[in-house]
Each structure stands twice: as C-alpha cells, then as structure tokens.
Amino acid sequence: MAIKRILVYPEGCLKQVAKPVTVFNDKGLKVLVQDLADTMYDAPGVGLAAPQIGVSLRVAVTDVDWRSEDGIKNHQVWINPEFLWKSDEMEIGEEGCLSLPDIYGDVERPNAVRLRWYDLEGKPYEQDFEGFQAVALQHEFDHLDGKVFIDYFSRLKRNMIIKKLKKKYLS
C-alpha cells in the first residue's frame, strides 16, 4: 500500500498525452493500480488517473459508489480506455478534481458513452455507461489526454484559476 502525492495542475505530466500500456500481467502495472486506488481512497475521491500521480500512462481507477450509503470499496480499473461512441444528448454537472483543489465548476458533457478498455491481464471489455458514471469516466480519461475540466472554461477564467493554483500550491 502506497499513498502517492497528487500533483496540482499544471504540474508535471498533467498537461501531457499519456502513453498506452503495452505490457500487461506485469508487477509494475499492478503496483501502479494499487497505488492509484490507495491514493484515491485516501484523498478521498471517486476517480484518479495515473498522470495525477506523475505516471504518464493510460491507466485510471474509479469508484463512484464507495462514499454513498454502504461505503464498500470496490475500485474499477481502466487501462487504455477508448470511447467508441458518445451521445448527442448533453448534461451539465458540477465537477471538481483532486489536482485542482477547491476549484469547482459546471461542465457540459455527453450523458452516455460506449467504452472499450482493458483489464490488468490485457483482456478487452466493451460496455455502455450513462449518467454520473459516464461523466466521471470522461473526466478521468481527459487526464490521459492532458486535459482537465477547466479546459472547458473561457481562457480568462482558466488563466485566473491557474494563477491562483500556482500561487497557492506551486510557488
């Protein structure tokens, strides 16, 4: 078990496009996923992508239910995720991010998606998601392309937020 430091935007590899995983069934990959889960639960959060702990690989974990009524931890692992389809129907919801402490704002996203991804052994999966799960997955996988939710804001608003984060956390 290892809790890693979560990078603050725009630190480190948070603005980079992460590389796909090419070696599965690998100790290093298992350790990375466990570190992501440990760090996410400790934060606490409902999703964490590898670039947020300084690893530029297309890996993320989510657990959108554990903070609700039962509190059972059961993280899902997403490796090399790829959206095969996104709905035309959009939904606006408030988002926050562990890499942008205390910043919140409304983001409009497709409210349903079809996803292909791989597990730790390299087995492929395909499934449709909607609602909060679909939004959470889009947020996490944006990190794998070096994007964060404030990239959906105006340049003026985004620059103000980045200035604030740099002053508070990175100076």
Residues that bind Zn ion (CB under 5 A): 97
Name the residue among 14, 56, 8, 53 with its Cα closest to residue 35. 53
- C-beta of 10 vs 122, nearer to Zn ion: 10
Q: What is the CA radius of gyration of the chain?
A: 16
CB 107 within 8 A of CB 95: yes
11 is annotated as an active-site residue: no
What tokens were used for 72? 């059972």
What's the min distance (Å) between Cβ of 82 and Zn ion? 19
Task: Please identify the residue of the shown chain whose CB is closest to the bound Zn ion.
Answer: 97
- C-beta of 110 vs 122, nearer to Zn ion: 110
**Active-site position among 89, 108, 126, 140:** 140
What's the min distance (Å) between Cβ of 99 and Zn ion? 5
What's the min distance (Å) between Cβ of 102 and Zn ion? 13
**Side chain identity at 27, as an amino acid letter?**
K
User: CA-to-CA distance for 73 and 80, rounded, in angstroms?
Assistant: 23
- C-beta of 61 vs 97, nearer to Zn ion: 97
User: CA-to-CA distance for 50 and 129, rounded, in angstroms?
Assistant: 21
Active-site positions read: 140
